Structure 1
Amino acid sequence: MSLLDMVKEAGIVGAGGAGFPTHVKLGSKAEYILLNGAECEPLLRVDQQLMALFPDEIIKGFEAAGKFVGASKALIGIKAKHKKVVTILKERIQALQVGDFVEVKELPDIYPAGDEQVLVYELTGRVVPETGIPIEVGCVVVNSETALNIYYASMQVPVTQTYITVAGDIPNPLTVKVPVGTPIIDVLKLSGIENFDDYAVIDGGPMMGPMMNNLDGYVTKKSKGFVLLKKDHHLVRKKSVDVDQARRVNRSACEQCRMCTDMCPRYLLGHEMQPHKMMRALNYALTDVEGQKIAQLCCQCNLCELFSCPAGLYPKFANTYFKGKLAEGNIRYIRKKSEFIARKSREYRLLPSKRLIARLGLHPFDKPAPMTEVEVKPEVVYISTRQHVGAPAVPVVSVGEHVEVGQQIGKIPEDSLGAAIHASVSGNIVAIEKDFIVIKRDEYAEGNRNG
Structure 2
Amino acid sequence: MSLLDMVKEAGIIGAGGAGFPTHAKLASKAEYILLNGAECEPLLRVDQQLMAMFPDEIIKGFEAAGRQVSAKKAIIGVKGKHKEVITILEDRIKALKLEEYVEVGVLPDIYPAGDEQVLVYELTGRVVPEAGIPIQVGCVVVNSETALNIYYASMGKAVTEKYVTIAGDVPNRMTVKVPVGTPIMDVLKLSGIENFDDYAVIDGGPMMGPVMTEIGGYITKKNKGFVILKKTHPLIRRKSASKEQAKRINRASCEQCRMCTDMCPRYLLGHATQPHKMMRSLMYAANSNAPNDLEAQKVGQLCCQCNLCELFACPIGLYPKFANNFFREKLAEQGLRYKPNKEVFEARNAREHRLVPSKRLIARIGLHDFDKPAPMTDTSITPETVHIATRQHVGAPAVPVVAVGEHVQAGQLIGKIPEESLGATIHASISGTVTECGNDYIAIRRD
TM-score (norm 1): 0.98
Alpha-carbon shift at residue 284 of structure 1 (Å):
1.4
Say if 2:128 is the partner of 1:128. yes
Distance 2:103 2:17 in 1: 23
Distance 2:265 2:223 in 1: 24
1:33-432 alignment runs, 5 A limit: 33-285=33-285, 286-432=291-437
3-state SS, counterpart of residue 322 of structure 2: helix
Distance 2:167 2:273 in 1: 32
Distance 2:42 2:283 in 1: 32
Q: Deviations over 1:131-184 (max 9, x none)?
A: 100000000000100000000000010000010000000000000000000000
Say if 2:35 is the partner of 1:30. no
Distance 1:327 1:4 in 2: 33
Distance 2:284 2:310 in 1: 19
Distance 1:200 1:319 in 2: 25
- Aligned AA for 1:267? Y
Distance 1:294 1:255 in 2: 20
Number of matched residues?
442
- Aligned AA for 1:45? R
- Aligned AA for 2:111? Y
Alpha-carbon shift at residue 344 of structure 1 (Å):
0.3
Alpha-carbon shift at residue 434 of structure 1 (Å):
2.5
3-state SS, counterpart of residue 178 of structure 1: strand
Alpha-carbon shift at residue 375 of structure 1 (Å):
1.1
Alpha-carbon shift at residue 18 of structure 1 (Å):
1.5
Counterpart in 1 of 2:288? none
TM-score (norm 2): 0.98
Distance 1:385 1:66 in 2: 29
3-state SS, counterpart of residue 344 of structure 1: coil
- Aligned AA for 2:102? V
3-state SS, counterpart of residue 171 of structure 1: coil
Distance 1:146 1:264 in 2: 28
Alpha-carbon shift at residue 214 of structure 1 (Å):
1.5
- Aligned AA for 1:296? Q
Say if 2:7 is the partner of 1:3. no
Q: Which runs of 4+ in 1 moved over 3 A?
A: none
Alpha-carbon shift at residue 17 of structure 1 (Å):
2.2
Distance 1:29 1:215 in 2: 40
Q: Which runs of 5+ in 2 are unaligned?
A: 286-290
- Aligned AA for 1:410? G
- Aligned AA for 2:379? V
- Aligned AA for 1:303? L
Q: Deviations over 1:358-412 (max 9, x none)?
A: 0000000000000000111011111000000000000000000000000000000
Alpha-carbon shift at residue 209 of structure 1 (Å):
0.2
Q: Deviations over 1:277-301 (max 9, x none)?
A: 0000011114111110001100000
Alpha-carbon shift at residue 426 of structure 1 (Å):
0.4
Percent sequence identity over aligned pairs: 75
Counterpart in 2 of 1:445? none
Distance 1:328 1:405 in 2: 42
Counterpart in 2 of 1:449? none
Alpha-carbon shift at residue 309 of structure 1 (Å):
0.2
3-state SS, counterpart of residue 165 of structure 1: strand
Alpha-carbon shift at residue 16 of structure 1 (Å):
2.1
Q: Deviations over 1:24-53 (max 9, x none)?
A: 010000000000000000000000000000
Q: Deviations over 1:262-314 (max 9, x none)?
A: 00000000000000000000111141111100011000000000000001000
Instruction: Say which is worse superposed, 16-25 or 263-272, in terms of deviation.
Output: 16-25
Q: Deviations over 1:301-339 (max 9, x none)?
A: 000000000010000000011000111111000100000
Alpha-carbon shift at residue 433 of structure 1 (Å):
2.4
3-state SS, counterpart of residue 44 of structure 1: coil
Alpha-carbon shift at residue 416 of structure 1 (Å):
0.3
Q: CA RMSD in A?
A: 0.5
Alpha-carbon shift at residue 78 of structure 1 (Å):
0.3
Q: Deviations over 1:74-133 (max 9, x none)?
A: 000000000000000000000000000000010000000000000000000000000100
Distance 1:230 1:149 in 2: 34
Counterpart in 2 of 1:448? none
3-state SS, counterpart of residue 350 of structure 2: helix
Distance 2:13 2:332 in 1: 25
Distance 1:56 1:154 in 2: 14
Q: Which runs of 5+ in 1 are unaligned?
A: 443-451
Distance 1:267 1:241 in 2: 26
Distance 2:382 2:28 in 1: 38
- Aligned AA for 2:398? A
